[in-house]
Copies of this chain bind each other. A is one copy, B any other.
Amino acid sequence: MYNSKATISSINFKQVARALTIVENDLTESAELLKNLTFNKPTPIIGITGPPGAGKSTLVNELINNLLKEGNKIAVLAIDPTSPFNFGSLLGDRIRMASHFNHPDVFIRSLATRGSLGGLSVKTIEMADVLRAAGFDYVLIETVGVGQSEVEITGLADFTLVVLVPEAGDEIQHIKSGLMEIADAFIVNKADRADADIFFNNLKKITSQNKEEQTQIFKTVASQAIGIDEVTAFIKSSASQKNQRRELLLTQKAYQLIQHKLTRHIDKKKLQHAIAEALNTEGFNLYSFVDGYL
């Protein structure tokens, strides 16, 4: 399908956008489209995550600038774990990434996710695969979050960069503990802040515990394009290595897709009707109800 063209000459952005829309909205052609995807090169998926305010979008902007200089074609999937009814944050990202919107080698798509279990990952898995098959050199997936959304990105991305800022919040330990295992590298952004070195050293100490190898940590000031070359070099060298986790990643993806297939037939409206009726009976118990419903 569309990807046969993609590999011949340049990528047809309109076709990519259409394919993504088919997959995102689960249109009838979606299943066939996905089964016919072919992957002509090992396009790496790079996850970029971190708490709100860490400067992820600015950093992604600068990384794109660097990768473009070497003639790469780049796709960005910006995942917004907030509501589709509220477009504030999406607009924010769009404005920040605006400089790339007209560049012929950068394709950007936002995906607003309602946060419903199951839905998020499957859509993201599928859309990331569409982008991989389209012939981009790099697929960047940017997501914000502190809990769930980051854990999910590691199930998708070949490697994950976690962006942090130097700060002394009393729950910073909390953020870090969750991120520790998913980060292939940390980026301390806004590293020109006064307490940056203390933060950097603490992070270094924590990340070297319980690990055979020290996780790489980079210092950047994305707003001034400082430190971006080192991160770009890391991305390029990681991308060229064979992914040890490929089998595990694919298993995780397959698991999500199977879960989705097994449960997509559950009709929420019908379920609500049944609940409403059951509620009128004495001694309603949800667990007995579910047992009887299946």
Contact = CB atoms under 8 A, between A and B. Distances in A.
A148 B79 CA distance: 12
B92 A173 contact: yes
Interface centre among A53, A121, A144 (most CB of B within 10 A): A53
Contacts of A118: 117-118, 259
A223 to B, nearest CB: 10
Assembly stoichiometry (copies): 2
Given A85-B181, A117-B259, A53 B251 contact: no
Contact of A82 (B83, B174, B255, B262): B174
Interface in A237-266: 246-248, 250-251, 253-259, 261-263, 266
Q: Is the interface of A mostly helix, strand, loop or mixed?
A: helix
Contacts of A117: 117-118, 121, 152, 256, 259
A253 B114 CA distance: 17
A285 interface: yes
A265 to B, nearest CB: 9
A288 B32 CA distance: 9
B263 A259 contact: yes
A104 interface: no
A22 interface: no
Nearest to A266: B258
Nearest to A246: B279
A111 interface: no
Contacts of A150: 115
Given A81-B146, A257-B286, 19 more contacts: A31-B291, A51-B51, A82-B174, A86-B177, A86-B181, A89-B173, A92-B171, A115-B147, A117-B117, A144-B171, A147-B147, A147-B149, A247-B275, A250-B286, A254-B271, A254-B286, A255-B266, A258-B290, A263-B263
Complex A-B, nearest 6 residue pairs according to Cβ-Cβ distance, in ascending order: A148-B148, A81-B147, A82-B178, A53-B169, A115-B151, A52-B171
